[in-house]
Amino acid sequence: MFLYCFDDRNQRACHGLLAVPGPVRKLGPVADTDSPDGPWGLDAFSGCVLGRDGGGWRAYVTAYHKDRAQFDQSRPFLCESDDGLTWTRRGLVEFRRMPEGFQGYLKQPSVLRLDDGRYRMYVWFHGQYRGQSVARLCTAISADGCVFEIERFDPPILHHVNELKRWGFEPGLTPNEAFEAHQKATESDTSDELLPLKRLRSNDSTNLFRVPRTGQVILYGVLFIPNPAGSPRREERDNARSLLRIVTRRTSDDGLTFSDPQIVLVPDELDPLDQQFYYLS
């Protein structure tokens, strides 16, 4: 795996990395959140770039509305380039068949090309749905890569830990004790549905790839382990200070049902104590 960095201070503190100068020339941002034109700030985090039929490139990023009162309009956004150097903004991705009753924004698209030529987008929904707060990874399908129809929303591909709450991460409780406490506070007729959902917990730092030869889809995401008060790995300024992020890998043959997460990147005894892994791309 190659990592391209403009500042190697953090890398010098990591174990197992070999620094190799590469033929990289910094040309400036393609898009950023502080651009002066229009209502949108563009963010490429957990976005993707695909080759276009006939040549050139298409980038899927997230357009966040700069007006907080209209933030729920934030959606994936298209940029295109003939040479990969000069990019043109094409506009917001259009979504059809949105789930009835959903109010919120969509972010961080991963788009894959299927064998039949269609495009499948994996995108995070954040907002309200039927009176409940939701944060989930869903899918949408497109024939042209510009107009998508929602394919999979309920049930989703993954749930953000904030939607499922922090089962198993409560300070002072083992995972089983925490889950039992949650069950006691939940109606008995739904408790059997909760346990299978635990394997679908993630955050929204996901990146997906498809192996053309086999069609297998690989999902790199984040899972959490407890990071209790008093731990030397804990950082009180963190927005999830009771959790320690590690990177996992899931696979799917059909792109819709994924395996249990397999841990692939976790701090070891040679890493800095406060080392966490937020995503893998």
pLDDT given for residue 168 in this prediction: 44
Q: What is the mean pLDDT of residues 31-38?
A: 62
pLDDT given for residue 193 in this prediction: 60
The pair of structure tokens assigned to 161 is 């830990």
- pLDDT of residue 199 exceeding 60, the answer is yes
Q: What is the mean pLDDT of residues 245-264?
A: 94
pLDDT given for residue 172 in this prediction: 47
Nearest to 161 by CA among 137, 189, 183: 137
Q: What is the mean pLDDT of residues 99-113?
A: 96
Contacts of 9 (CB under 8 A, 6+ apart): none
Residue 280 to residues 35, 110, 175, 202, 263, Cα–Cα distance (Å): 26, 13, 26, 13, 12
Q: What is the mean pLDDT of residues 107-118?
A: 96
- pLDDT of residue 41 exceeding 60, the answer is yes
- pLDDT of residue 219 exceeding 60, the answer is yes
Q: What is the mean pLDDT of residues 15-23?
A: 67
- Percent of the chain beyond pLDDT 90? 47
pLDDT given for residue 235 in this prediction: 83
Q: What is the pLDDT of residues 69-95, one digit of tens each?
A: 899 999 999 999 998 888 889 999 999
pLDDT given for residue 143 in this prediction: 97
Contacts of 108 (CB under 8 A, 6+ apart): 45, 46, 47, 62, 123, 124, 204, 205, 206
What's the whole-number average pLDDT of the chain? 83
pLDDT given for residue 31 in this prediction: 61
Per-residue confidence band for 188, with pLDDT thresholds at 50, 70 and 90: very low
